[in-house]
Every structure is written in C-alpha cells, then in structure tokens.
Amino acid sequence: MSRDIRVEDLSLEEKVQLLVGASWHLRRIHGAAGETRPVRGLPMVAMADGPSGIRIEPNPIRRWPATAFPVPVMLASTWNPELVEAVGRAMGEEARDYGIGVFLAPGINIHRHPLCGRNFEYFSEDPLLAGKIAAAYVKGVQSVGVAATPKHFAANEQETNRTTVDTIVDERTLREIYLKPFEIVVKEAKPWAIMSSYNKLNGKYTSQNEWLLTKVLREEWGFDGIVMSDWGAGDNPIEQVKAGNDLIMPGSDEIVSRLIEAVKRSELSEDYVNRSAARVLEFIKRTPAYKGYKPTNAPNLKEHGKLAYEAAAEGVVLLKNNNEALPLNTNAKVALFGTGQVETNRGGLGSGHTHPRYFINILDGLRNGGLRVDEELSSIYVNYVKENRGEDYLCALYYEEAYSEPLPQDVVSEEQVRKYAERNDAAVVVISRNSGEGWDRRAIKGDYYLTDSERRLIEVVSKQFHALGRRVIVVLNVPSPIEVVSWRDLVDAIILVWLPGQEAGRVVADVLTGRINPSGKLPTTFPRDWSDVPAAKAVECYPGTPPDNPKVVKYCEGVYVGYRYYDKYGIEPAYEFGFGLSYTRFEYRNLKVTIDDSVKVSFDVINVGKYPGKEVAQVYVKAPQGSLDKPVQELKAFKKTRLLNPGEVDHIELTINIKELASFNDAKGLWIVDKGEYEVRVGASSRDIRLTSKFTLNNEISFKP
C-alpha cells in the first residue's frame, strides 16, 4: 500500500511518473497550478501559487477566497522577520485547509532591474534582507506541514523573454548577490522544494544546469528537498533529470514517454531516475494529503485579515513629511484625488494574483476610518471609473487579473480644485501603477514617469491647496519605484503603500491619521532618474540585441547592484536603500563592537520624539580594499525595535559571523575574508549612518564554498 511504498518497489514507468507533474488538465482545485501523479495509490499533491496569498480561483459553487496579504516587497519593507513568519504560517494554513500541499512561494530574485514586472513578488535589492525575510516566510509556511518553494533559481531578474533569455553573470556576482538569498533560505529554513527558473544561466537552462542544481544547491549548501522546474521551462527533460531537476512541471504524458524511452535506449541512466524518484517520494510523504489531513475548506480568514492589516501597517514607508504635514486630525476634511482611490491596486498580476473575501479600496478605507471625505469629489471619480472601466468594474476588482492602462487623470478642472481646497483641510492624491508576470514595466510616461495628466493634477492641487495653506499628500500605490524627484517638491508628504493587500484602504486611512506610525524602510532604492539605473544604461549589458528584446542579458555591473552601485559611483538616489521616516524621531547611542569568533555589535535606540514608534536599525560593514574590489558598505545585520514610547530605549545586540564578511574570489574558487581594518556603520538607512566603530582582522581567512 502507499503507506510504506519504497522506490525499489516501483517499476520504471511508475518511477518516471513521479518525476513528471500531472499536467494542467487534471487540476482538481480550481486555480491551483498543478499536481503530482497518483502513482500506486499515492495521493496527488496539489500546488498553488503565491506569494501574496494562496492563488486559487473563486468558484461559483464552493467559494474559495484566500487572504490577500501585502506583496512581498511590502513584507520586506517591514524588516520584521517575526511578522513575516506569522504571515507565512497563515498562508500555509490556508493552503493546507484548501487541500494544497505545496505553496509555490516565495519569490526571492533580486531587484536588479527596478522595473522587473515581478519585483513586487520579490523582496529586495539586497541579498541579506531578501534571504532573512525569505527564511522567516518559509519557516512560517512549513510550520503547518505545507511545502514552501523558494523560486526562481536563479538569475531571473527580468520578465522580457524570460523563457529563453541567457543571463550572463560572473561567479563572484552570482554567489555574493543572486545565489545568496537562496543559500540563506536553504541553510536557515530548509525548504522542502526549490523552483528552478525559466532562463538560461551562462548558456545553460537553469533547470538543466547540474552545477547549479546539484553541486551548489545540494553538495555545497546541503539542500535535501526536491527541485521542480518552472512551468514549461527548459528544452530537454532528459537533461533536466540528469542535472537534478527532480520534478518537471506542469508535466505531460509526452514527457513521461520520452523519459521512459530515454532510459530504455540508455540515453538516461536509471540511476538518475531512481535518485529523483526517491526524493519526490519522500517529499510526497511529508505532505498533508499523504498524512491523511482532511481539508476543512474553512481557514480562519478573519484572523488572517487582521494579520494582513498588521503586515501592511508595518510595511508602509513614509518618504516625505515636511513640517509635520502628517498625521492629520482624525476627523479632518479630506479631498481625495486620483482614480486610484477607487481602483486601488491591492496586489500584482499573473500567478502572484489573489482572490480575497473582501477588499477595501482607499476611498472606502478613508470613509470608514473617520476622515471626512469630500463625497462630491469622490463620486466624480467613482463615476469616471465606472464609465471607463464598465459598471461591473468595482465588483470585478475582486477577481480582476488583467492589466489596465492607468486612466487619464484630467477629471476635475482647476476651478473645481479651488472649490475643494476651500472646503477641505488637506488633499490626498493617489498615484497607482501595476505590473505582473511575463512583462516588465517601462521607463516611459504612465509607468516609471508620471503621465502629463497626473503631473498636471499634482501641480493644480498643489497650487490651489497651498494658496490656502492646506496640505497636499501623495499616496504611492505602486509595485516598484517610480520617478519622484521632478514633482516631490510640490507636495508636503508622500506615503508609499506598495500593493498593500486586501486591507489597503484601512491602512492608508490609519497612516494618514496617525493610528499607524509608519515604520517601514525601503528594501530597494528609488533612483533619481531612469538614466541613473545601472541595469538599464549600458548597451553592453544586452550584447547584440536591444534591451526590449534581449537574447542575452549580461549583469555587467557585477556585484554593484542597488545601493552598492549608487554608493560606489557617488550617485545620489531619490530615496536610498533602508530609508523611511516616522512621525517620531530616534537617536542611536552607545555603540560597542567586540570581536572574537564573530563580530558582536550592540547599541541603544531611543525614541526622542512625540509618538510611539518602531525603528529599523541597520548595520553596514565597510571592508578594507584587499584582494578584490569591495562595495563601499554592505548590510550585514538589522533589527526592528519593539514599539517604543517617547523616551523609551531598546538595547539591540547583533552578531555577525566572520564568514559573512567574505567575498568570492573567482580565480581561486574560494571565499576570502581580507585582513585589515573594518568599519561597522550603524544607522537609520544606508545613507543615514549615526554611529561607527572599527575593528581589525589580523589574518586573512579563506574557505571553500
């Protein structure tokens, strides 16, 4: 019987069936992405996407709503692994309770290209932050007995031509930046599965790359789960099995036959089949379906809704707050501009989409949050959206998966704006963008740049409201950075709410009124202008082909990604990595650094302002220039404080393993920690360093990967 089934008991045909998914057509759970095959009475294990919540589709008979949590870039903005672990656990429970055994999340690719269409699904431009947040997420999911699947392994940092593009990246860069989050997650959270990516890496599809899937992942890092392919990735299933891609997804009968034939013709040794079949078998035995768990179809959506609120609340980043424009009085009169108040984006598009039980847009959130919304003005926007998107649009918002171009924002005249300025205390302008799987955002008006009508709206609102001494606040409801420098001086405050999940409106209202004191910090740089972005600027990064249709993408900036680039070349960003304001102020004191077999860093964070709040304290290390060229500084540790009342102090103690100071020397094939003087830089962002201290390493340390 299935209970004690062993690989040795299975025929070749049965073993191969274990290696190939059951194709799209057998999906029992509406909206699930795939499942394993029912070999010898083993259960079919269902898989569903994330990473902002379980993606299954609402079904007219059995409704299966799942909580829409804030997108991963917002989870990373919390810099709070404990909170992210709780979110992971909640998603795991929803998966388990709907009969899903494998959660196809989280995405942990690096924000190399600020406009990658899936950046909302990924955490950060920094490998340490991405790895630590991912590890917390995976621990949470797996704590309830459901597999997490960190993806897309590896070097899949853009969507254009994603299934064929060849990413060229040197080994140092690969190991220090792009593989690092996977290494952290494998070592700290032991994911049951990893998904290889669509792209090629240095000439070979990642799903067919033995060096990546077997040598690095298993032999070096000790991974003991299964590797599954991305859906339809690669061009040769035989090579996939040889490389160590254990499960081919979504799978087809043709692939099964091809593999069986290959073994019979001695093109594929049966040892490879046995190896992967044993792994898949062990994997299936860990899942709830195998253990006889009966899906309840009734996860605790109410509690998870509260958690979605909490996670979004901690991920809001306050980018600007001149003269304490925020918070507003709780009963302030507010004129709400922009169609994004109605068609607020709660999440991104593609496989990372979610179908929640409810969704609060910004308009409803403000109405319910006590603010006195100018209803006449907002009704103009509601009608405008209905006219342009169709009557059903508001209802469709719960299910919508398709991209809609931003609507023109010439909705109210300057005279009308003057009238609203006269009768309101503040203007709130919502700017919305979305993106999704399969395409990248573009450095054009209406995407990275404001449209002309958006810019006009901000100008007119700024002129009329400021003429009467009223404040102007912009809410950015975006999946990844937009250009801000050309217009930010026109407004008093900017809050970045990313794609905040089903509780979007409530969170925006509570930030505006101070019930939430923002404590998020940027996990990714906001560049001043597109021309500053390293991934976009050099033609040599796309050898022989144009950037909008590349066959090859060369990571020609090397390890200088995100702040590592802007710091090295002295380029000022609009808002730097790690940046985020609060309604209160924090001071840093008493830095102590000691060194024995690790570096111990301790300091105090004190709330010296007026409001209770949390601070994200960041520790960067500046290494000596030794055998390899080094970034100016790199994030090596971080800690979010507990909620501190005015006057309260949090004593922070952090440890950095000395090996984490190493760089990879391609020529020697070794990680090397140079000897010399290191500077520990503690601060509120990568460019707001408050305390520094130095230590010296007398001897070089080197070790094998």
- Please indicate whether residue 230 is annotated as part of the active site: yes
Answer for the pair 163, 561: CB distance below 8 angstroms, yes or no: no
663 contacts ligand BGC (rule: CB under 6 A)? no
Answer for the pair 297, 35: CB distance below 8 angstroms, yes or no: no
If the CB atoms of residues 33 and 553 are measured against ligand BGC, the closer one turns out to be 33
Within residues 550-609, the interface with ligand BGC by CB under 6 A covers none
Q: Are strands 493-496 and 471-477 parallel, antiparallel or unpaired?
A: parallel
57 contacts ligand BGC (rule: CB under 6 A)? no
Q: What is the 3-state secondary structure (H, E, C) of 311-371?
A: HHHHHCEEEEEHHHCCCCCCCCEEEEECHHHCCCCCCCECCCCCCCCCCCCHHHHHHHCCC
DSSP tag of 678: E
DSSP secondary structure letters along 139-155: HHHHTTT-EE--B-BTT
Pairwise CA distance, residues 686 & 526, whole Å: 13
49 contacts ligand BGC (rule: CB under 6 A)? yes
Nearest distance in Å: CB 350, ligand BGC: 7
Residue nearest ligand BGC, CB atom distance: 33
In order of 316, 475, 479, 486, the CA distances from 528 in angstroms are 20, 18, 17, 9
If the CB atoms of residues 81 and 117 are measured against ligand BGC, the closer one turns out to be 117
If the CB atoms of residues 20 and 644 are measured against ligand BGC, the closer one turns out to be 20
33 contacts ligand BGC (rule: CB under 6 A)? yes
Within residues 182-241, the interface with ligand BGC by CB under 6 A covers 230-231
In order of 48, 256, 458, 561, 571, the CA distances from 481 in angstroms are 28, 44, 18, 15, 17
Nearest distance in Å: CB 149, ligand BGC: 8
Pairwise CA distance, residues 188 & 191, whole Å: 9
- Cα-Cα-Cα-Cα torsion 685, 687, 688, 690, nearest 10 degrees, comes to 100
Within residues 331-370, the interface with ligand BGC by CB under 6 A covers 351
Interaction mask 517-556, ligand BGC, x per CB under 6 A = ----------------------------------------
Comparing CA positions, the residue from 192, 103, 209, 193 lying closest to residue 155 is 209
Among 97, 166, 230, 567, which one carries the catalytic annotation?
Answer: 230
If the CB atoms of residues 228 and 371 are measured against ligand BGC, the closer one turns out to be 228
DSSP secondary structure letters along 481-500: ----TTTGGG-SEEEE--S-
167 Cβ partners below 8 Å, 6+ apart? 155, 156, 157, 199, 200, 201, 202, 552, 553, 554, 555
Edge-first strand listing for the sheet containing 552-554: 204-205, 200-201, 166-168, 552-554
Comparing CA positions, the residue from 274, 267, 228, 273 lying closest to residue 251 is 228
> What count of other Cβ atoms lies within 10 Å of the Cβ of residue 645?
10
If the CB atoms of residues 44 and 458 are measured against ligand BGC, the closer one turns out to be 44
Nearest distance in Å: CB 588, ligand BGC: 40
DSSP tag of 39: G
If the CB atoms of residues 231 and 583 are measured against ligand BGC, the closer one turns out to be 231
Size of the site for ligand BGC (CB under 6 A): 8
640 contacts ligand BGC (rule: CB under 6 A)? no
Nearest distance in Å: CB 66, ligand BGC: 15
For 590, half-sphere exposure in the C-beta direction (CA atoms, 13 angstrom radius) is 10
Q: Which tokens belong to 574?
A: 């609009």
Element (H, E) at 243: helix 237-243
Within residues 421-440, the interface with ligand BGC by CB under 6 A covers 437
Nearest distance in Å: CB 351, ligand BGC: 4
If the CB atoms of residues 131 and 348 are measured against ligand BGC, the closer one turns out to be 348
Interaction mask 86-105, ligand BGC, x per CB under 6 A = ------------------x-
151 contacts ligand BGC (rule: CB under 6 A)? yes
Q: Catalytic amino acids?
A: 230
Residues at the site binding ligand BGC, with contacts judged by CB under 6 A: 33, 49, 104, 151, 230-231, 351, 437
